[in-house]
Chain A
């Protein structure tokens, strides 16, 4: 009874994982999976940079405009290195701009957490806590990668992300342990973002990360340290860790919420209108 489903699911997974890449999963599995993996890290950073950039002039205070823009800039810098690296591994001549501006929605491999709209400031801060907490553990793990570009970026970026994580922590504490209204909204922020947490820590489909031993970091291994950090912040902020009844999935294989489809035209407009434009 389950056989046909299993077969078609396997085929789908292969296509979803690397189908749009110019490197063949069967002929060159390690290179294909590594391209996919690095693009996932790159797209997380790129899409969140775009989301945070939207808050410039819209944050609750000018210091936050500046802080969120700074964090976005760090993420954009990380994304540029990662996109350039993914293009080199793929080996088809695509550079960072091709990958950022000329891919469509289904070719993006970011988790859905980074693409959902910020909405209330507390939603943005909940996402920052989740994501910076995750990225901090990720980069700490990648410092030991056998891939020198990943290791070099990780050693640099972990220092930047330590500031992002602390920034989110301070806001969650302030809002959670603040007034009745700020507490209510911070809790609502956590509640609305928590269904997107699991996706960060999934090892993904297909032959996957087992092929990248010593190069990639298995996301499942990051969860205990992340839970310990986030749990402490939530407790200290007098908030409650949500127990969501559903969870997002599919971002790493190109299945996204409708929100990514609205974000991309704004991000890609200039490059597509003026191909090859440079400063």
Chain B
């Protein structure tokens, strides 16, 4: 454990070029929920450099039809160009399937602060328990689901019975 810490520490001051590019791609904000970065969402799968210098970024979509996917790819490309990468390609892969469990703890905190209830831990497919979402404004658990489908594919629409405000909740997937 001590070794690992030292190792991480020494690497921290001497990031490889690829790690730096990986961080640049991961820091791109999500276009629909801009408080989250792509790293918060856990959708940057890989960054590598081909022998010809092209940087290839592999992303995975949250939902197969998520319209933000194309925007995200363009944003990643422009972020990498902004730090001097001449050639960028962005690839999208579906497997392994993204899950809301990959959203970082930091991402969950940011969601809450932004007014979106973070997702529950994901369960195997086909559980249809109606779990309560905690109101991100007043913290009440006395809330009600208005619709399982919200303003983006990844969110459902809720209403708080305590403070009476409507709010979005990130669906477990």
Contacts and interface: CB of A to CB of B under 8 A. Distances in A.
Given A66-B147, A167-B149, A152 B94 contact: yes
Interface residues of B, number: 27
Interface of A is mostly: helix
B65 A78 contact: yes
Interface string B61-77: 10111110010000000
A25 interface: no
B146 A63 contact: yes
Interface stretch (A8-16, A156-164, A263-271): A156-164
A152 B65 contact: no
A250 interface: no
A239 interface: no
A157 B173 CA distance: 10
Interface residues of A, number: 34
Contacts of A152: 93-97
Nearest to B60: A156
Interface string B88-116: 00000111111100000000000000000
Contact of B63 (A155, A160, A162, A169): A160
Given A155-B96, A159-B173, A74 B64 contact: yes
A67 B153 contact: no
Contact of A158 (B99, B125, B147): B125
Interface of A: 63-64, 66-67, 69-71, 73-78, 80-81, 136, 140, 148-149, 151-153, 155-160, 162-163, 166-167, 169, 279
Given A66-B149, A155-B95, A166-B128, 11 more contacts: A66-B147, A70-B153, A75-B65, A151-B95, A155-B96, A156-B95, A156-B97, A160-B153, A162-B126, A163-B148, A169-B128
Interface of B: 61, 63-67, 70, 93-99, 125-126, 128, 146-151, 153, 157, 171, 173
